[in-house]
Amino acid sequence: MKTILVLVLLSMLSVMVFAQTGQHKLIDKKATAETNALYDNLYQLSKNHILFGHQHATEYGHGWRGDENRSDVKSVTGSHPAVIGVDFSGLSGRPDSIIEKVKIAMRKNIADTYNRGGVTTVAWHFANPVTPTDFYWKDSVSAPAVKMIIPGGSYHHKYKQILQTIANFAKSVKGKDGKTVPMIFRPYHEFDGDWFWWGRSHCTTEEFTTLWKFTVSYLRDSLSVHNFIYAFSPDNKFYSEAEYMDRYPGNEWVDIVGFDDYGDFGRFGIYKLDSGIAKLKIVNDFAKKTNKLAAFTETGLESIPNATWWTETLLKSLKKNKLELAYVLVWRNDETSPTHYYAPYPGQVSEEDFIKFYKDPYTMFEKDLPPMYRNNKK
């Protein structure tokens, strides 16, 4: 009798353990071991920390471009960001010779980040595939391309060719260990605005969710890309979970839920922190309910004129409500513009406060990271 009871208890325990370990699973059942490890480590770290990210951090910065192993963040703190943003914009809409040069530079950038132990997230500002314009919507010029590139659309074949280029590139990025490098892929961001050709006014909800599902399915199931973690990120135009989910394609199509928010955190000198904090909580709570990771996928204050923005605005907002966010990413530092930058450089007015932000135990930079591409559970 005791033996039967023990077996029953062991069986129940195994089911409970499976349920606990099986909660946060990637939507790609064939994801590489390194991609699964990254996802799990991001989840584990989010319980007590947040990774700091910066777009294009090691490609260029304030007054420089292409310097080896350099970033403005490293120049200030001694460490690169934990998360470095790149963009697949250069993989389409350009001559093949230019695309090949983009591939070489980006492949090295992503591999270098992986080899150092950092994390790569990928945005996709790609040119309108139907009309010869960039990613911004231009009235009377831009075509409403979403309905044309989804299955049944007149440009669907062209879209498949673009995805084939992305797939071939993604699978070609290898670390010095020979492994394919995992990436957080964040397509069609800020879709609730109208400034991009995939924005709310330029396609229906059904068209957008069809585009999302086809993109994931074609990359994952047809082109065998198994090193992507898929991130969903509208802008800040939601005030409830229902509004946040308006164009959500479903739990089986998303790994990370996030959002972009500049407007609540000081843009044009306007601070609406209560609103921004409330949105962070909406996304955080939705992630917990759906067993996803949450992230603050884009934010920042252009030119950072507020000398204490890092600790008094961003850090306090992130720490409110005991959120569990995988990372926060600020936008790029332009190499030539005297004003378009979102992370400090040596001598910038917020440099001292940023060092305090860096030293806070809650934030993690590249030097702080444990091995992200292997299972660290004891």
Q: What is the pLDDT of residues 87-97, one digit of tens each?
A: 999 999 999 99
| Tokens, residue 347 | 């001598």
Buried b or exposed e, range 107-133, using 16+ CB within 10 angstroms: bebbbbbbebbbbbbbbbebbbbbeeb
User: Which helix or strand (DSSP H or E) is residue 260 part of?
Assistant: strand 256-260
In this predicted structure, what is the pLDDT of residue 317?
Answer: 98
**41 found inside a domain:** yes
**84 found inside a domain:** yes
In degrees, to the nearest 5, what angle opens at C-alpha 234 toward C-alphas 22 and 301?
110
In this predicted structure, what is the pLDDT of residue 376?
Answer: 75
Q: Which domain holds residue 267?
A: 29-368
**10 found inside a domain:** no
In this predicted structure, what is the pLDDT of residue 132?
Answer: 84
Q: Are 224 and 171 in contact (CB under 8 A)?
A: yes
In this predicted structure, what is the pLDDT of residue 14?
Answer: 34
Q: Please, which residues bridge with residue 87 across strands?
A: 123
**222 found inside a domain:** yes
In this predicted structure, what is the pLDDT of residue 377?
Answer: 66
Q: What residues of the chain score a pLDDT lower than 50?
A: 1-22
Q: How many domains does the structure of the chain reveal?
A: 1
**7 found inside a domain:** no
**33 found inside a domain:** yes
**249 found inside a domain:** yes
In this predicted structure, what is the pLDDT of residue 133?
Answer: 86
CATH code of the domain containing 311: 3.20.20.80
User: Which helix or strand (DSSP H or E) is residue 363 part of?
Assistant: strand 363-364
Q: What is the pLDDT of residues 334-350, one digit of tens each?
A: 999 999 999 999 999 99
**14 found inside a domain:** no
